[in-house]
Structure 1
Amino acid sequence: MKSKINILLVLTIVLCWGSMFSQGCEVDDPGSSKDSLSGPTINVFGYLQPQYDYFFTGGDQENTFRFKRARIGVRGKVFEDFSYYFMLETSPFIGSTGDAYLMDAFVTYEANNWARISLGSFKQPFSLDVSTPCNSLPTIERSIVADQLVAPQRDFGLAIFGGNKFNRLNYAVALMNGRGLGVKDDNVKKDVMGRASYKIFRSFTVGASFRYGYPIPNNNEDDRTSYGGDFMFELGNFYLQGEYIYDEGAYFAGAGGGCGATPVALGEERDGAYLLAAYSVTQKFQPVFKYEFFDPDINIKDNLGYTERMTVGFNYFVNDNVRFQVNYLANIETVVNVDNDALLTQVQIRF
């Protein structure tokens, strides 16, 4: 089955790429030429995502109430082409200590629409799934491959962004420490990465990502290379999105996984992909389906870590600022069967 899946994904990747480059957690890049902010401004924003999780593990079923995310930030312009963006994560369920911590904080100079220069802490410009704002994800969980291979998802560095949602072409390139948030850079090498997307038709966008760096602390020799391809298709009320990521070389589990995911052991080569479909039956009700796979070591046959998952659920939008999500996660192990399906429910409030 895995070989058939890979063939389908290779065919899909021929079409691949994305159009959204979100440095922070809002949809628009601060300081973009189409930003609604003008003049010296102070705009407070954020969102809460309280959640209930029920795990089908056999025997006494584990279940819990928690916050997926609880974020608050400030953004605005201070002088002509200079803008700022600052956000804190306050959820005790993300991060290693349970304390509030700095997530995004950067200053942007907009020379023009094709050269917005940002310096500070922000998302790595790699992967359509990672670039999608956290409060706009069609499913509660990001893809496994994005959480495991695009790590750290946030870092300190310098980036240049070009284009906006009205342009066919968008791009981003960045030079980053490669160590993640709250960690001092401890090698002399930097990570270089980039992402580009092109809207072939009004309804179809393709994109690609690249990263090359040195992820291991105090190590300037062992490198890492990552590639990604993605696509988005929108026609009427139907939405389809897919992505493939390949990663090889060194890695550092201490960098953590994206969105609080627990990192797994990786082989020399690893990959994964997902395909997501959604259909807006009404303005308020949107069923969603996602299939994904993740292989932490593609050189090992019948790898115990190989994972497939199907997510079935729906989104219900009360309005633009209130959303309910219900997802059933069917985890499929191909070597050893494990009872680890889950039912996740979440409400999101934006302000």
Structure 2
Amino acid sequence: MQIEPSGLVPRWYGRRADGWMDRTRARRAETRAFWRVDLMTMIRTTGFLAGTITLAFSSIAGAADSTTSIDSLRAELNELRSQNEALAARVDAQDSEWLNEERAGEVRSLVQDVLADSQSRTSLQDSGMMAGYKAGKGFYLSNQDGSFSLMMSGQLQTRWVMNNNTSRVTGGGTPLPGSESQWGFQVRRAKVRFQGNVVDPSWTYMIEGGFDGPTNGLGQQTNAGTFEFQDAYIAKELENGLSLTFGQFKTPWMREELVDSSQQLAVERSTINEFYGQDRAVGIMASYATDTWNFAASYNNGQRTAVSAPYRYTNFTNNQTDWAFSGRFEYKFSGDWSDFDSFTSSPGDEEAIMVGLAGMGQKYGEQSAFDGLKVMGFTADISAKFAGFSLFASYVWQSYDASDINAALEDYEPWGMVVQAGYSLNDEWELFARYEDGNANGTPGNLFNFGAEDGNPSILTLGANYFINDNVKFTVDWGINFADTMNIFSANSSDTGWTSSDESDQWVLRAQLQLLF
């Protein structure tokens, strides 16, 4: 991430404003100089006449008509005095009337431009700092050359959810009491992000945290409102497109997870992504990018499969794996890399097509309940955009090798697929549809639920987005599950709105308001 301070100051500021004022000052100086010369000439003339009068007094002191001459000279002096006063008045008038209507209009226009620009940009001249707001980036602070910067942004998602499930069960298939219909409000996400660079633009950082809800991603009870960090890393951009990342970050695995939650089509990501997505891990990642392709590989402490969040985000003493890795390759046929930051395509967008391949693997260690278990995975996806139309499709497969563990588990090979499409009617309205299906019997992070018979999601989701402005979006969608049994969720799961069921026709209605700052 790089800030260009030169772009923070209006290009015309130093030329239009200062140049116009210099020309105005010059005209005022010329006017004053002109009248000053005439005034001095008049003064010298007055002095000359005064001397002449004195000599005249001496030469006519004895003359009989002295009284008449003195009266005449006195009249001439009074006339000169009147002319001198009129000249001074003209100088004062010229000095006060230099700001005519045309120039006043120019000044008003200039002031309005400066005030409008200052609403989003401020130059702290004494300290050499820049501050303001950039659309899509958030609030920022930066020094003039951009070598040090800080950006702050955030995300709020408030939603209303209604779930209708005629046969509510736990992730293991045990029936649950209660009404078949449940509804209410929840704050799904409340995030704050700090990012920027230090020393120079090649050293970047990010710290992102969120206020946890009543349950985590596994449906486990938490202390509602607790702030937990999610992304926390340092990155160094090397030469020729190579970069290194150290800390906690999203592992290079499934594309749906890598696209930010604020840039999805539906209210929530698919259940397939929630089951197979590896989320974040602590480790190191190397990336290499060109104009047409990129590759990223990570070695870390362990990813989400069978490793719950409390053990992913702590230190080496709680490491649940002997080794864990993931890698992803992407090839871009057309478009810019930034086109794939979102699943939405706006009207008038040019063609953008990209394919991705990724793999992951990890072996669980002695500190895990599944010591010796090995998990390998593969995923492929395609993304396309053109003139308001967007398409995304993905397939994921995993293999669980339980031959070296003592737990009563068998080898298992779940799979899943997602297809979604969106179409923007205009700059405000977007329609979308998504279908997901798979063989994913079990709850993420709890392998003992694996193998629940017929626990496969088969969900169709239809919905619409209304973009109130660039920072506020309203989304509503409705989904229905066609599978007879869906046992992939814990009893307290609330993130997606779906719950486990042993009958078909469970449906979910969701409405969400999202604000970015």
Partner of 2:287: 161
Looking at CA atoms only, which structure, 1 or 2, has the larger radius of gyration? 2
Identical-residue share of aligned pairs (%): 21
Do residues 236 (structure 1) and 357 (structure 2) align? no
2:148 to 36, 40, 55: 40
State the AA in 1 paired with 2:389.
Answer: F
Greater RCO between the two (CA within 8 Å, min separation 6)?
1
Partner of 2:516: 350
Whether the aligned pair in 2 keeps the contact of 1:212 and 1:224 (CA below 8 Å) is: yes
| Alignment RMSD | 2.7
Partner of 1:211: 360
- How far residue 183 of structure 1 moved from its aligned partner, in angstroms, is 3.7
Partner of 1:324: 474
When residues 317 and 146 of structure 1 are mapped into structure 2, their CA distance, relative to the original with a 3 A threshold, is same
Partner of 1:182: 313
When residues 267 and 320 of structure 1 are mapped into structure 2, their CA distance, relative to the original with a 3 A threshold, is farther
- How far residue 339 of structure 1 moved from its aligned partner, in angstroms, is 4.7
Do residues 132 (structure 1) and 282 (structure 2) align? no
Do residues 224 (structure 1) and 375 (structure 2) align? yes
Counterpart-to-counterpart distance in 2, 1:197 and 1:266: 34
Structure 1: which 5+ residue stretches go unaligned? 1-26, 29-36, 252-264
Do residues 293 (structure 1) and 437 (structure 2) align? yes
Q: Structure 1 stretch 327-336 or stretch 213-222: which is displaced more?
A: 213-222
Partner of 2:209: 88
Whether the aligned pair in 2 keeps the contact of 1:76 and 1:84 (CA below 8 Å) is: yes
When residues 40 and 266 of structure 1 are mapped into structure 2, their CA distance, relative to the original with a 3 A threshold, is farther
Task: Give deviations 1:181-213, integer Å, cap 9, x for gaps.
Answer: 334443562211111110124432111110011
Whether the aligned pair in 1 keeps the contact of 2:437 and 2:458 (CA below 8 Å) is: yes
1:1-351 mapped onto 2 (5 Å cutoff): 38-57=146-165, 61-80=181-200, 81-95=202-216, 96-97=221-222, 98=224, 99-112=226-239, 114-151=241-278, 153-163=279-289, 167-178=291-302, 179=307, 180=309, 181-184=312-315, 185-187=318-320, 189-202=322-335, 203-215=352-364, 218=367, 221-249=372-400, 268-297=412-441, 303-334=453-484, 337-351=503-517
Whether the aligned pair in 2 keeps the contact of 1:50 and 1:69 (CA below 8 Å) is: yes
Counterpart-to-counterpart distance in 2, 1:149 and 1:284: 33
Counterpart-to-counterpart distance in 1, 2:191 and 2:410: 31
Task: Give deviations 1:77-129, integer Å, cap 9, x for gaps.
Answer: 11112111001111424524232111110001111362121100111110110
Please identify which structure carries the higher strand content.
Answer: 1
Structure 2: which 5+ residue stretches go unaligned? 1-135, 138-144, 167-178, 336-351, 403-408, 443-449, 486-501
- How far residue 267 of structure 1 moved from its aligned partner, in angstroms, is 6.4
Tell me the TM-score normalised to structure 1 length. 0.78
Q: Structure 1 stretch 173-182 or stretch 329-338: which is displaced more?
A: 329-338
Task: Give deviations 1:149-172, integer Å, cap 9, x for gaps.
Answer: 223x111010012227xx210221
Counterpart-to-counterpart distance in 1, 2:410 and 2:275: 9
Task: Give deviations 1:246-282, integer Å, cap 9, x for gaps.
Answer: 011159xxxxxxxxxxxxx996110101000000000
Counterpart-to-counterpart distance in 1, 2:464 and 2:364: 37
Tell me the TM-score normalised to structure 2 length. 0.54
Please identify which structure carries the higher helix content.
Answer: 2
